[in-house]
Chain A
Amino acid sequence: MIFRNSLSITLLCGIFLFNDVFAHHVLGRPAYSLGEDSNTPPSMQIETQIGEYYVTYMAFPAFPKPNQRGRVNLYASRIDNGNTFNGDVIFKVKDDSWFSSKEEVLGTQKIDNGVFRQGFIFTEAGSYIITAEFESDGEPYIIDFPLQIGESDSIGPLGITVAILIFVIVGVNITQRRRLQRIKAQQHHSDSSGDNNV
């Protein structure tokens, strides 16, 4: 395997800060679905594979709010023989922001009916990363999943776009005005020196 010492994946950003992506059939990306009877709140689910394992992560509810009780379920089964992983899984959480390195342990869970269940309550809205860690055959597995609590703050991309557009338009206007003034000044200069020669 490529990762000899540690297998770790981050299913967070894809390319540009994906914190609310979705797919019905695409591996490694969140999908939203209703329960079979459609009476339960929608859940968010991510299927992926890492090293020797297929891993499925589910969050209930799909869009938890601050102070709302929620739960993540983790299923891990071996790719080669389908056997379920039955060791301990440690769940941790951290802020999904560039300047935060604070991490808290949510709990260590044992398998219960083929599932590792971890409850949570977040008091503040925001984008979080849930990390699931386990060890199999002497290799550590670290998997990061996104969890959005409350409304996501999507003003960032708009702000960046507006800033780029203003910078380009104003910059080009100023540059072009100066260039035209310089050309006019040069023309004026050459015209007047031509008059002097006459």
Chain B
Amino acid sequence: MFDIFLEFINTLIYAPDEGMVHPGLPAAWVAFVFLAMFLVGVRYAFLYRQNNSERALFKFPFLTTLTKPFITNPWLLVFLRLFASVVFLTVIYAGLFGTAIPEKNIATVLTWTIWWSGVVISIFFVGSAWCAICPWDAIATWLVRQRLWKKARETSSLNLRVPKILRSVWPALLMFVGLTWLELGVGVTVSPYATALMALFMVIAATVSLAVYEKKAFCRYFCAVGRTIGAYSSIAPIALAPVNEKTCADCTTLECYHGNDEVEPCPTNLVMGRLTQNTYCTSCGACSMSCPHENVAWRIRGVGDEITTASRNTALRGRVDEAWFLLGLVSLTIFHGITMMPYWEGSIQKLAYNIGDSGQLLTSFSIGMILSMAIPIVLFSVAIKLTQQLMQTKAEYNRLFSAFALSTLPLAFSYHIAHNLTHLVRESAGFWDVVANPFGKDALPLGMHELHMRHMNPLIADDVIFAVQALLVLFGFWLALKIARQRFHQITSDSRSLAFTPILIFISIISLVDLWLLMQPMIMRM
């Protein structure tokens, strides 16, 4: 019986006749995840009991001591930002003036194989720490404020309020869609020159935003990278939080929000004592440096606790733009996976032939991208509509849409990590050669032998990669259901209602699509 099941799974794997591809999840792992998903699904569909646990922050004095300098010592942060900026400027220089061979230029290797793959994985361990040393924000800050870390002069920025229409994460979502189009459609990931141009664009955008708008509007509203990190970091088991919540509750001066004579106010308008979600925290350390009570520290919490222990008010107050951003993450991560399937290019070529598209086939690519993005969004919208219809207590559609959108976040995060893991461990071989010759002077493209060796020797053993990927899909499914169940319970008291079924089906479909994508061989990027 099990053999027949494995055989069936194997029929779902498309192995190309030619070309070098990374292996997908073996059928045995797929079967394990499938069965485990079934059990988890049954638990959350029929055996669920609401547990009204409160957000718990664990005290690890060792962690607090270890991380304290990173959020209280401005010069240490300046040093890290300087280091990140020097690397970033090297990437720009290498992209503009180095070799055009992507696997031999540090611009493409560091940006796409190491940084972008690694930063998504790092969120699970260090939350939004990347934003604290983000080089385009650091360079923009130094240029506009003309200070290494202290409070800026009044003349450095126009300090205008961001127009109401832009005070949402719609700009970040648009930027994310645009960057994905450039990355996968135009092929920025395999072009050092285009990678450098993209980096320059980020510097210009961050600088203009900082010079025109108050605080750090770019980080809060516009930056696709920052908002993605922010969204994912709400699942992370680590975050900046008050050491003693009573100290914050009794505080009347709110230096964390207003800043003090030396330290800037919170760049994203957060008050530490009232922080219920860390999505907009950039880990910049302004609150910890200005707090007179030294009451801000990195704290450990349960994975996903920020969402699952949210109060009813917080859960039902979700914003539509944030919900769309999360759905955008789900659909774009799936789209990334689809474009790296061996049959993607053939499908786009067929479409291009039929519609008369030529050259880089960008029209055909754009149609494929829109369709791939639309399907999960339409499915989610239908699931919410059905939930609304089946609920005994009628709830507003937008409210349900926003409340349940958060349940899609673990699906995007877990698949994103699993997908990026392949890039990181299978394509980063040769990184140190590139560090030794960052501009690729006189470098030659990889020969077939080198390509083959890279292909055969990932940084981590295949079995470990498969195990991590399988567990990630399972983790995403479990957390998504947990969040959806909790939200459902907060919206309706009828916990055994059929109304939960559409959401359960939606989460199952997305998880199975993620699993199916991970089963498929993936084309090597470089």
Contact = CB atoms under 8 A, between A and B. Distances in A.
A130 to B, nearest CB: 15
Interface string B164-196: 000000000000000000100011001111101
Contact of B143 (A63, A158, A169): A169
Interface in A166-196: 168-169, 172-173, 175-177, 180
Interface stretch (B4-12, B231-239, B357-365): B357-365
A16 interface: yes
Contacts of B447: 34, 38
Nearest to B350: A79
A105 interface: no
Interface residues of A, number: 54
Contacts of B144: 169, 172
Interface stretch (B150-158, B316-324, B491-499): B150-158
A16 B204 contact: no
A176 B154 contact: yes
B356 A51 contact: yes
Interface of B: 19, 92, 96-97, 100-102, 143-144, 154-158, 182, 186-187, 190-194, 196-197, 200, 203-204, 207-208, 211-212, 345, 348-349, 352-353, 355-361, 444-449, 523-526
B311 to A, nearest CB: 41
B359 A28 contact: yes
Interface string A1-41: 11100011111001110111111111111101110101000
A81 interface: no
Given A20-B193, A154-B96, A154-B193, A176 B155 contact: yes
Given A16-B194, A34-B444, A63-B100, 6 more contacts: A3-B358, A20-B192, A22-B102, A26-B187, A29-B360, A172-B212
27 contacts: A2-B355, A2-B356, A7-B358, A11-B360, A14-B187, A14-B360, A15-B186, A16-B197, A18-B193, A18-B194, A19-B193, A20-B100, A20-B193, A21-B194, A22-B102, A25-B345, A29-B190, A34-B448, A36-B448, A38-B448, A148-B100, A168-B211, A172-B156, A176-B154, A176-B156, A176-B158, A180-B155
Contact of B204 (A25, A79, A164): A164
A21 B190 contact: yes
Contacts of A77: none
Contacts of A169: 143-144, 207, 211
Nearest to B204: A164
A115 interface: no
B359 A50 contact: yes
Contacts, number: 153
Contact of B157 (A2, A28, A157, A176): A176
A83 interface: no
B156 A27 contact: no
Contacts of A121: none
Nearest to A35: B447
A50 B345 CA distance: 15
Contacts of B186: 14-15, 18
B187 A21 contact: yes
A50 B353 CA distance: 8
Given A48-B359, A154-B193, A22 B352 contact: no
Nearest to B443: A42
A5 B154 CA distance: 61
A1 B357 CA distance: 9
Nearest to B523: A25
A19 B196 CA distance: 13
A121 B143 CA distance: 46
